[in-house]
Copies of this chain bind each other. A is one copy, B any other.
Amino acid sequence: MYLENDMPVNYATPPADKLFPIAGVRLGTAAAGIRKANRRDLTVIELAPASRVAAVFTQNRFCAAPVLVCREHLAQGEIRALVINTGVANAGTGEEGLHAARATCAALAKLMDVRANQVLPFSTGVILEPLPVERIKAALPTALANRKSDGWHEAAHAIMTTDTVAKAASRRIDLGGISVTITGIAKGAGMIRPNMATMLAFLATDADVAQPLLDRLVKEAAESSFNAITVDGDTSTNDSFVLIATGQGQARFDRVTSADWQTFKSNVIEVAQELAQAIVRDGEGATKFVTVSIGGARTSAEAKAVAYAIAHSPLIKTALFASDPNLGRILAAIGYAGNLDPALRDLDASKVCVWLASGGEEVLVAHGGGRALTYREEDGARIMKRAEITIRVDLGRGDKTATVWTCDLSYDYVKINADYRS
């Protein structure tokens, strides 16, 4: 299939030596031949004893079997390993799918001499097809034998499905002489590629984080990263975001009131955002990376509703692709955001301001219910031509905000998604 644009927007995988190992985490991969031969499609992430794990999963009611098993195992105790396969999503597979996910966990647990419920399973790939458990079982020893603490780069590649680029992020911070490391990988190219469902993200730190803090942090980080991106509005059946704290480093966090905790938290969120944005930058057919930033809302929920109305509008997304500063479409989307949050049904259009921005330049395009008197089409057109664009809106009715990242809608999106499942 020929695509006009098969490159992510301003994104490249960090080199292997920029992905810092996390003490207590080892990663190994193998080619299990799940869907294609000679391709690494199986990843094992081993965690040191006493690691803490928190996760958020898809809200989709047709959630995949591994998601159900993850929820169950997380409730039961100490997690010692994650096993991730690509090729088959093990979704829409009923009882048989649950059995396959459990069998995978049991096989890995046996090799590692832990309990089956200490393993979390993840799958991504074609929906409605059975998981080839035997092939996975056969490849587990190889993945396990390959495990190493600097395996993040390799694992970032092994969890890819139709991503055009592997996604990883890492940073080491200094908290008054105490070093903390955070490293993560993610996959997903759009919310769903053709039948290649799933956004998966795995983020680990060597800090020791109390379980209640970790549980709260994973939700907060997801909210402002993976839950703030959209390519096409479709929510997959397998989406999972896992946050691991091995406690093998020097940092200890057991309450939220310290300045160090705030610094640590910000860094975790930033790594999650970097990965989330990489997914949008590698969005299906994306040629633009777009930040939709809403302010002046009464509630965060209504800010998010306006952000999504804009980010999901096919009319705005095609205008972004065409570099057309089509203001009417942006105003119209703000105006119908009441469909998403009824609280917006009393929005006063005359109080709304809209700006287009890029590279430090910001242009007021609309206020007082229509086009700004100072607005010149050439200013809007200049900004819309850039690869990184911010649509900023002030609703003029409060102080709550929301930010959503998205991409444009190009011919290639249709091409990719209309292409018969290959």
Contacts and interface: CB of A to CB of B under 8 A. Distances in A.
A417 B318 contact: yes
Residue among A62, A233, A419 with most chain B CB within 10 A: A62
A414 interface: yes
B321 A414 contact: yes
A421 B327 CA distance: 11
Nearest to A192: B315
Contacts of A344: 61
B332 A62 contact: yes
A310 B235 CA distance: 12
Interface stretch (A35-43, A133-141, A364-372): A364-372
Interface in A265-316: 312-315
A344 B339 CA distance: 17
A314 B313 CA distance: 11
How many copies altogether?
2
A229 to B, nearest CB: 14
A44 interface: no
B234 A332 contact: yes
Contact of A328 (B91, B324, B418): B91
Given A94-B368, A127-B331, A327-B92, A314 B233 contact: yes
Contact of A345 (B61, B97, B326): B61
B128 A192 contact: no
A349 B62 contact: yes
Interface in A321-339: 321-322, 324, 326-329, 331-336, 338-339
Interface in A51-92: 59-63, 89, 91-92
A420 B322 contact: yes
B414 A328 contact: no
Interface string A92-106: 111001000000000
Given A197-B328, A328-B197, A332-B197, A313 B233 contact: yes
Interface of A: 59-63, 89, 91-94, 97, 126-128, 192, 194-195, 197, 232-237, 312-315, 318-319, 321-322, 324, 326-329, 331-336, 338-339, 344-345, 347-350, 352, 366, 368-371, 409-411, 413-415, 417-421
A61 B235 contact: no
12 contacts: A63-B335, A92-B369, A127-B331, A128-B331, A194-B326, A195-B328, A195-B329, A197-B328, A234-B329, A236-B332, A322-B418, A413-B414
A339 B191 CA distance: 15
B339 A59 contact: yes
Nearest to A337: B61
A344 B60 CA distance: 10
Contacts of A234: 313-315, 329, 332-333, 336
A421 B350 CA distance: 25
A331 B92 contact: yes
A237 B333 CA distance: 9
A418 B316 CA distance: 9
Contacts of A326: 194-195, 421
